[in-house]
Amino acid sequence: MGTATSIGQLLAALRPDSSPSLVWYGPGGERVELSGRVLDNWVAKTANLLVEEFGGGPGTVVRLDMAPHWRGIVWALATWQAGAALAIGGSAPAGIVVTSDPLHPAGDAEQSRAQLVAVAPGALQLRWDGELPDGVMDYAAEVRAFADYFDGAELPDPEAAALEHPGGTISFGQLLPAAAETGAGAARRHVLLPASAGWTTVLAEALATWQAAGTVVLVHPDVEVTGRLLDSERINSRL
């Protein structure tokens, strides 16, 4: 894979790959596997939702108010694909808050005018379980109606903020690392990422892995990492 310089280019490079790009292990035996094409489709649907429903794009800040999860990764990639900034923690004002707890989102007072999007915690839930407050979008129920191809924004300004986190700000120009040089016989990277590592680490490691056409295996803190799991996912790198 050549070195991608934007999220759109990264997804385009992953798209033809039928092998897993992202695998999620959640509580209760959840396992979700997304090939490059399926990951790209989910990101495109979410980016289209962000743009068409909320007018998202350059200048928009999307706060991710949930623990690391495969759907949160999709939201991060979609935010960047649309040219918007992703906020994790900190106090940057956000126009959209993507949350797994719509009844008690982080920064209630600050976010009183923000659009709330509820993300169902179950790996394959098709809608939020129960009633949502008025005006809160049910992501799982709504996202499937959007196109799975994003014919979107121009490349974002490389100096613009892509990720705002407690440790600082990362620009679009800094977001994607250079692809690692690998020899012809080099093994594909299969990295195990514990969700407990936090969003900043999970996203950085995921982007670096995908730049090298590898596989990200994200594991919920309640899931025991057994030898069988490591062998079945061919893990050769872990935090």
Q: What percent of the chain has pLDDT over 70?
A: 91
Domain membership flag for residue 154? yes
**CATH code, domain carrying 121:** 3.40.50.12780
Contact between 144 and 65 (Cβ < 8 Å): no
State the average pLDDT over residues 90-107.
Answer: 83
Domain membership flag for residue 152? yes
Domain span at residue 79? 7-238
Q: Residue 152 is encoded by which pair of tokens?
A: 């979107």
Which strands, in side-by-side order, build the sheet including 161-165?
137-138, 115-118, 96-99, 61-65, 85-87, 161-165, 168-171
Strand (E) or helix (H) holding 37: helix 36-54
Identify the weakest region by mean pLDDT among 38-52, 76-90, 122-136, 214-228.
Answer: 122-136
State the average pLDDT over residues 123-151.
Answer: 92
* Residue 182: predicted pLDDT: 52
Say how far residue 88 (Cα) sits from the centre of its chain.
12
Counting the structural domains of the chain, the total is: 1
* Residue 199: predicted pLDDT: 97
pLDDT in tens, 11-39: 999 999 889 999 999 998 999 999 999 99
SS3 for 96? strand
* Residue 109: predicted pLDDT: 41
Domain membership flag for residue 66? yes
Domain membership flag for residue 2? no
Domain membership flag for residue 63? yes
* Residue 5: predicted pLDDT: 87
Q: How many CA atoms lie within 13 A of 98 on its CB side?
A: 28
Domain membership flag for residue 16? yes
pTM above 0.85, yes or no: yes
pLDDT-derived band at 108 (thresholds 50, 70, 90) equals very low
pLDDT-derived band at 113 (thresholds 50, 70, 90) equals confident
Residue 97 has pLDDT above 80, yes or no: yes
Residues in the chain: 239
Q: Is 11 exposed, middle or buried (0-12, 13-18, 19+ CB in 10 A)?
A: buried
Domain membership flag for residue 54? yes
